């Protein structure tokens, strides 16, 4: 299947083994990007593998642990070193809902691509190398424990969704939880989640789609497509779990995130990567517009708080939706958290009562659409966004239609429904006294 929007062709292929392939050819560019990713993140600690009748529960942090180990190969040479030796910049990351292995390069793309395809499909796990990794990851976990940015973010998720939901589990796990990880646990998870039918390959750069597909078909496991994995995310609070959480840390200014749980996003989301998720894209665009109008850099809120000295930098506004949760957020660093929160609530109430200015709405929509279009000039940025969107179940190209066709009336409807103060939580990291 080929789609073309914004003068950009995107090739989609669903192979017989269930693997999805997305190719974004960019003639004349000098850099390449490729990612091989699986729908396996920290949320997936409890699942039923295809063909199994029993639910499997694994220690927190397994997806992240496996990401660390997959670069290690039986010949003793780390795949990162192999890629670096031929000039490729390689990396990997684990999120709440997926794990991705990737590289960028300016030359020798096919050689680097073959290395990527090989090491992701050939785990080498022993008692010795797994035990060694526990110490390395344990140090990483302790670093996150001391990171105020991570703490204020993670506190918000628990405040919104509760401690019985999978999102309350740290991506890297805990020092105690990773102590229970064994090669068998890792192989069981690998065989379940690193199946082609649960994965996607995304490539961008000056490439020929047919040639890329030939390389993939020759080097990726050929097998029958498996049934979907059953995933269990735990209990979710109907309302916010806590309205405010606060922690003292060694910071000079308070860090705060004000979040609004989005209940409706989950009713819109269809399972998997689906064309039916266009309503979710439309809702996402509406909330992005609203966040900018409420507290963006050109908003009344920011101007007022900046002029009075309550803020010295912009409010970071964001809307996040994943497979079992969604929320909008306002992140600030300030000496007066309560003043910022009150001003944001005042602006939300004002817009609900008076509606959106057509001039402000049109200007903001045009600005955000321009930012979106600009993304397509960078093959790396496009591919990264397409990877993230794929695991959210949406097609990145659908945002183009949503930006162009969204109406002020629809955005006002979302404003009244989404920004409900009863579904609001505040996370604060404040300075030690």
Asked if residue 236 is part of any domain, the answer here is no
Region 406-430: mean pLDDT is: 97
State the average pLDDT for the chain. 92
Cα separation, 315 vs 255, in Å, equals: 11
What is the CATH classification number for the domain harbouring 184? Answer: 3.30.830.10
Share of the chain above pLDDT 90, in %: 79
Residues 130 and 77 grouped into a single domain: yes
Contacts for 104 with CB less than 8 Å, ≥ 6 apart: 31, 32, 33, 88, 89, 380
Please indicate, yes or no, if residue 86 is contained in any of the structural domains: yes
Lowest-confidence segment of 6-10, 246-250, 370-374, 400-404 by average pLDDT: 6-10
Q: Is residue 375 part of a domain?
A: yes
Average pLDDT over residues 6-12: 87
| CA 388/CA 275 separation, integer angstroms | 16
CB-neighbour burial class of residue 288 (10 A; exposed 0-12, middle 13-18, buried 19+): buried
List all residues 6 or more positions away from 90 whose beta carbon is below 8 Å from its beta carbon. 79, 80, 83, 84, 101, 102, 103, 112, 116
Question: Is 304 part of any domain?
Answer: yes
What is the model's pLDDT at position 378? 85
Question: What pLDDT is stored for residue 83 in this prediction?
Answer: 95
> Does pLDDT of 429 surpass 90?
yes
**Structure-token pair, residue 175:** 């020092």
Which residue spans within 163-265 are E strands per DSSP?
199-205, 230-231, 244-249, 254-261
- 301 and 344 Cβ atoms separated by less than 8 Å: yes
Residue where a domain terminates, one of 165, 197, 231? 231
SS3 state at 22: strand
Which residue is it, tokens 């990713």?
37
In a domain, 89, yes or no: yes
Q: Which two tokens stand for residue 188?
A: 């069981």
Residues 177 and 172: their CA atoms lie apart, in Å, by: 9
Helix (H) / strand (E) element for 13: namely strand 8-14
pLDDT for 32-42, tens place per residue? 999 999 999 99
Q: Which domain holds residue 121?
A: 2-231
Same domain, 167 and 253: no
pLDDT one-digit tens code per residue, 36-63: 999 999 999 999 999 889 999 999 999 9
Active site (catalytic) residues: 67
97 and 9 assigned to the same domain: yes
Is 178 a residue whose pLDDT tops 90? yes
Whether residue 270 is predicted with pLDDT greater than 70 in this model: the reply is no
- Give 251: exposed, middle or buried? Use CB within 10 Å, 0-12, 13-18, 19+: middle
Strands 99-105 and 89-94: antiparallel
Residues 15 and 115 in one domain: yes
Of residues 276 and 53, the one with the higher pLDDT is 53
Q: How much is the pLDDT for 269?
A: 67
List the one residue out of 398, 94, 429 whose CA is nearest residue 251: 429
Q: Say whether pLDDT at 219 is over 90.
A: yes
Residue 28 predicted with pLDDT over 80: yes
**Statement to judge: residues 319 and 220 lie in one domain:** no
Cβ–Cβ < 8 Å for 282, 197:
no
CA distances from 336 to 202, 205, 258 (A): 44, 46, 13
Whether residue 338 lies inside any domain: the answer is: yes
DSSP H stretches of helix in 122-277: 127-145, 148-161, 175-178, 183-193, 209-219, 264-268
Checking DSSP bridges between strand 20-25 and strand 199-205, what pairing results, if any? parallel
pLDDT tens per residue, range 97-106: 999 999 999 9
Residue 234: predicted pLDDT: 83
Average pLDDT over residues 193-220: 95
The predicted-structure confidence for 348-360, as pLDDT tens digits, reads as follows 999 999 999 999 9
Same domain (yes/no): 389, 264? yes
Q: What is the mean pLDDT of residues 290-306?
A: 96
**Radius of gyration of the CA atoms of the chain, in A:** 22
**Within this chain, do residues 180 and 306 fall inside the same structural domain, yes or no?**
no
Whether 258 and 129 share a structural domain = no
Domain tally for the chain?
2
Is the domain of 105 the same as that of 209? yes
**Structure confidence by residue, pLDDT tens digits, 73-89:** 888 788 999 999 999 99
Shared domain check, 104 and 8 = yes
């Amino acid at each position: 299947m080929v789609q073309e929007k914004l003068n950009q062709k995107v090739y989609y292929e669903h192979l017989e083994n269930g693997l999805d392939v997305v190719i974004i050819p960019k003639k004349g560019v000098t850099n390449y990007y490729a990612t091989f990713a699986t729908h396996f993140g920290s949320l997936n600690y409890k699942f039923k593998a295809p063909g199994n009748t029993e639910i499997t529960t694994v220690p927190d942090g397994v997806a992240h642990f496996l990401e660390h180990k997959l670069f290690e190969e039986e010949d003793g040479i780390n795949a990162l070193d192999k890629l670096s030796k031929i000039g490729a910049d390689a990396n990997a990351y684990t999120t709440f809902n997926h794990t991705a292995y990737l590289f960028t390069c300016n030359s020798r793309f096919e050689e680097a691509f073959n290395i990527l395809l090989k090491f992701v499909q050939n785990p080498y796990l022993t008692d010795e190398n797994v035990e060694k990794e526990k110490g390395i990851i344990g140090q990483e976990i302790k670093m996150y424990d001391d990171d105020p940015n991570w703490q204020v973010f993670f506190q918000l998720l628990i405040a919104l969704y509760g401690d019985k939901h999978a999102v309350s589990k740290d991506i890297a796990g805990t020092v105690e939880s990773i102590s229970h990880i064994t090669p068998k646990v890792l192989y069981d998870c690998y065989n379940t989640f690193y199946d082609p039918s649960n994965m996607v390959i995304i490539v961008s750069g000056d490439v020929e789609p047919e040639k890329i597909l030939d390389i993939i078909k020759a080097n990726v496991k050929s097998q029958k497509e498996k049934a979907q994995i059953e995933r269990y995310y735990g209990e979710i609070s109907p309302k916010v779990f806590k309205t405010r959480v606060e922690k003292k840390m060694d910071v000079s200014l308070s860090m705060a995130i004000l979040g609004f749980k989005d209940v409706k996003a989950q009713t819109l989301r269809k399972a998997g990567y689906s064309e039916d998720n266009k309503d979710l894209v439309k809702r996402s665009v509406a909330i992005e517009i609203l966040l900018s109008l409420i507290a963006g850099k050109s908003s009344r809120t920011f101007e007022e708080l900046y002029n009075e000295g309550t803020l010295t930098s912009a409010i970071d506004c964001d809307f996040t939706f994943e497979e079992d949760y969604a929320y909008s957020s306002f992140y600030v660093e300030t000496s007066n958290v309560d003043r910022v929160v009150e001003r944001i609530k005042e602006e939300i109430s004002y817009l609900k009562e008076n509606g959106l200015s057509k001039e402000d709405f049109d200007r903001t929509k045009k600005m955000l659409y321009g930012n979106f279009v600009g993304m397509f000039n960078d093959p790396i940025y496009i591919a990264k966004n397409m990877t993230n969107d794929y695991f959210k179940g949406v097609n990145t190209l659908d945002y183009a239609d949503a930006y162009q066709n969204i109406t002020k009336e629809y955005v006002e409807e979302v404003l009244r429904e989404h920004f409900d103060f009863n579904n609001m939580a505040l996370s604060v990291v404040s300075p030690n006294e």
